[in-house]
Amino acid sequence: MATPTITVQLTEPEQKLLQTLVYQECGMFFDERRIHFLQDRLQRRLRATGLDSFYNYYRLLTSRDGKAELAALVENLTVNETSFFRNKPQLDLFGKQTLEEVLSRKQSRRDWSLRVWSAGCSTGQEAYTIAMLIADALAYYYLRNPLPVEMPSPKPLIPPPWRVEILASDISYSVLRLGQEAVYPENHMEPVDYSYRLRYFDKVGDRYAVKKSVKDLVHFDFHNLKTEFLPQRNDIIFCRNVMIYFDEEMQKRLIEKFYRCLNPEGYLFVGHAESLFGLTDKFRMIHVNNGTAYQRIEVHS
């Protein structure tokens, strides 16, 4: 027998309860403009759980056994839109200027590790774009500079002694699974130039699989940006098109946390519609040819 369609109209106090619960769990804030979206997703979860009232559903969410349902609700509320090479001017700045500066600074200290975090990575296109740009930047760097050790044969993607680690994290398990799979349909490949497709992808039927050497640079993991625990010692953080779903208080707290988990002089990249203006004075803005990055300001005593 088909499950009857239940339509629940939330009262204002019920809306507030749900808004608060979601905010406390993941930092996403559903104001008046987005309340319909919250209502729509609630409806879907009511259908999925077979519950017939907000009261019963809220009781489930807040019960000891409700953790899985709360995660499912949050997962349904995320917007996972992403693409390869999103915001090209910013990626030009990253590939040509930021990486050049970070690589030469680290090489001068004989520090051969490069750690990048894609926070709110969705289905992985951002992390793999970063991986491809790092591989290219390293290759170009060592065209112009001597490599400190002999290049092994066959030539690896990342020249030794460099170690590149890209952490790709998200609050949604389903997007993380797709990122790990790293196989993308043709219509996701439009922003990927043929030189990148040829070097970094294998064509499998009508889909494109990220090559193993690129995949191996990226590690996918669940992480909720609302929590206090953050991966440490990052050289560069990408958190693009994630903060737009948070309110100002959460944005400020998150930027403060990013400051703390960046290495000195590290960089933060945010989305094209996002800015640190008015939220912090601990980063300097770098703006080149329409691309923007923020660099951690060091306070010397």
Q: Which residues bind ligand SAM (CB under 6 A)?
A: 26-28, 78-82, 86, 120-122, 126, 170-172, 175, 223-226, 240-242, 245, 271
Distance of closest approach, residue 274 Cβ to ligand SAM, in angstroms:
10
CA atoms of 143 and 83, how far apart (whole Å): 30
Whether the CB-CB separation of 208 and 184 falls below 8 Å is answered with yes
CA atoms of 63 and 134, how far apart (whole Å): 45
User: Which residue, 28 or 137, has its beta carbon nearer to ligand SAM?
Assistant: 28
Distance of closest approach, residue 25 Cβ to ligand SAM, in angstroms:
8
Whether the CB-CB separation of 105 and 265 falls below 8 Å is answered with yes
User: Which residue, 8 or 181, has its beta carbon nearer to ligand SAM?
Assistant: 181
CA atoms of 172 and 175, how far apart (whole Å): 6
Distance of closest approach, residue 300 Cβ to ligand SAM, in angstroms:
33
Distance of closest approach, residue 45 Cβ to ligand SAM, in angstroms:
16
Whole-angstrom CA distances from 17 to 49, 76, 101, 224, 247 are 19, 18, 48, 21, 17
CA atoms of 252 and 258, how far apart (whole Å): 10
User: Which residue, 119 or 158, has its beta carbon nearer to ligand SAM?
Assistant: 119
User: Which residue, 51 or 262, has its beta carbon nearer to ligand SAM?
Assistant: 262
Residues near 245 by Cβ (< 8 Å), separated by ≥ 6?
27, 28, 29, 79
User: Which residue, 81 or 150, has its beta carbon nearer to ligand SAM?
Assistant: 81
User: Which residue, 124 or 159, has its beta carbon nearer to ligand SAM?
Assistant: 124
CA atoms of 21 and 24, how far apart (whole Å): 5
Q: 């499950």: which residue's tokens?
A: 3
CA atoms of 74 and 28, how far apart (whole Å): 9
Contacts 24+ apart (CB under 8 A), 205-213: 207/183, 208/183, 208/184, 209/182, 209/183, 209/184, 210/128, 210/182, 210/183, 210/184, 213/156, 213/157
User: Which residue, 266 or 271, has its beta carbon nearer to ligand SAM?
Assistant: 271
3-state secondary structure of 6: coil
User: Which residue, 223 or 282, has its beta carbon nearer to ligand SAM?
Assistant: 223
